[in-house]
C-alpha cells in the first residue's frame, strides 16, 4: 500500500522540487553586465587665454564598469585651425571605475590683435559599451593676449589707426544705443 508520510515531509518535498526546478530553469539565463556609462562634457562653455591652455572636463555617469574611451574633436569657430590651435581628434580613456577625466588643449601665442575667438568641441565614437549623453558639444572661448602697436589708443569717430598694415576706422561713436561701427581696410 501507500506509505504514510507526515505533513512536514510532504511539504519539504514539494518545496525542494520547486526550488530545484526554479534553479534549474534560471541556470540558462545570462547575467547582464554592469553599465559602462554615458559621456558628457562637464560644462557647455570653457575658456583659455592665447598662449595658454584650456582644461576641458568630461563626465561618465550611469555606470563606470570597464575601460571605455571617447573622442573629442576640436574645430575652429572663429579661431583658425593650424594657426591658433592644433585641429585634431583627442581620445580620452576612462579606466574601470573612473567617472571623470580632463583634457588640456594648448593654444598658440601670436602677435596678432584678434579679440575673442572660439572653437567648437564635439564628443563622438564612444567605446566599450558606453554611450553619448545630452551635452556632446561645447564652446571654448580663447581670449587674445596680443597688445596693439605702440601709440595705439582710443579712436574717436571719423578717426583711424593703422596696425601692422591694417587700418581700422571708427565710423561712429560707441554708445549703448549706438553699436560699434568699424571699417577695416587692408593695404
CATH label of the domain that carries residue 71? 2.60.40.2030
Q: Are residues 55 and 93 in the same domain?
A: yes
22 lies in some domain = no
Q: Are residues 43 and 110 in the same domain?
A: yes
Which residues 6+ apart lie within 8 Å of 125 measured at CB?
70, 71
What is the Cα–Cα distance from 111 to 113, expressed in whole angstroms? 7
Q: What integer pLDDT is reported at residue 129 of this predicted model? A: 95
27 lies in some domain = no
| Helix and strand numbers, DSSP H then E, in the chain | 1, 12
14 lies in some domain = no
Neighbours of 54 (CB within 10 A): 21
Q: What integer pLDDT is reported at residue 163 of this predicted model? A: 56
108 lies in some domain = yes
Q: Are residues 163 and 118 in the same domain?
A: no
Q: What integer pLDDT is reported at residue 112 of this predicted model? A: 77
Q: What integer pLDDT is reported at residue 86 of this predicted model? A: 87
Mean pLDDT per 10-residue segment, the chain (187 residues): 56 49 50 82 93 94 95 91 88 96 92 85 96 96 71 46 57 49 53
Query: Angle at the Cα of 38 (from 32 to 42), degrees rounded to 5?
Result: 155
Q: What integer pLDDT is reported at residue 120 of this predicted model? A: 95
Q: What integer pLDDT is reported at residue 152 of this predicted model? A: 46
Q: Are residues 115 and 101 in the same domain?
A: yes
171 lies in some domain = yes
Q: Are residues 105 and 155 in the same domain?
A: no
What is the Cα–Cα distance from 53 to 105, expressed in whole angstroms? 5
Q: Are residues 44 and 134 in the same domain?
A: yes
165 lies in some domain = yes
Q: What integer pLDDT is reported at residue 36 of this predicted model? A: 93
How many separate domains does the chain show?
A: 2
SS3 80: coil
Q: Are residues 127 and 153 in the same domain?
A: no
Q: Phi and psi at residue 98, in whole multiples of 5°?
A: -75, 140
Q: Are residues 101 and 159 in the same domain?
A: no
Q: Are residues 49 and 91 in the same domain?
A: yes
Q: Which domain holds residue 152?
A: 148-187
33 lies in some domain = no
120 lies in some domain = yes
Q: Are residues 85 and 131 in the same domain?
A: yes
Q: Are residues 123 and 152 in the same domain?
A: no
Amino acid at each position: 500500500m501507500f506509505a504514510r508520510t507526515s505533513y512536514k515531509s510532504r511539504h519539504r518535498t514539494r518545496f525542494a522540487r520547486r526550488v530545484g526546478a526554479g534553479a534549474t530553469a534560471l541556470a540558462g539565463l545570462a547575467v547582464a553586465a554592469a553599465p559602462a556609462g554615458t559621456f558628457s562634457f562637464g560644462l557647455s562653455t570653457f575658456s583659455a587665454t592665447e598662449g595658454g591652455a584650456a582644461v576641458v572636463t568630461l563626465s561618465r555617469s550611469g555606470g563606470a564598469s570597464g575601460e571605455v574611451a571617447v573622442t573629442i574633436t576640436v574645430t575652429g569657430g572663429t579661431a583658425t585651425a593650424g594657426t591658433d590651435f592644433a585641429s585634431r581628434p583627442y581620445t580620452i580613456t576612462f579606466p574601470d571605475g573612473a567617472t571623470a577625466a580632463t583634457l588640456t588643449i594648448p593654444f598658440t601665442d601670436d602677435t596678432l590683435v584678434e579679440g575673442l575667438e572660439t572653437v567648437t568641441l564635439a564628443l563622438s565614437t564612444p567605446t566599450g559599451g558606453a554611450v553619448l549623453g545630452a551635452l556632446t558639444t561645447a564652446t571654448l572661448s580663447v581670449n587674445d593676449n596680443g597688445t596693439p602697436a605702440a601709440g595705439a589708443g582710443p579712436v574717436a569717430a571719423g578717426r583711424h589707426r593703422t596696425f601692422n598694415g591694417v587700418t581700422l576706422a571708427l565710423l561712429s561713436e560707441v554708445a549703448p544705443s549706438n553699436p560699434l561701427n568699424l571699417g577695416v581696410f587692408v593695404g
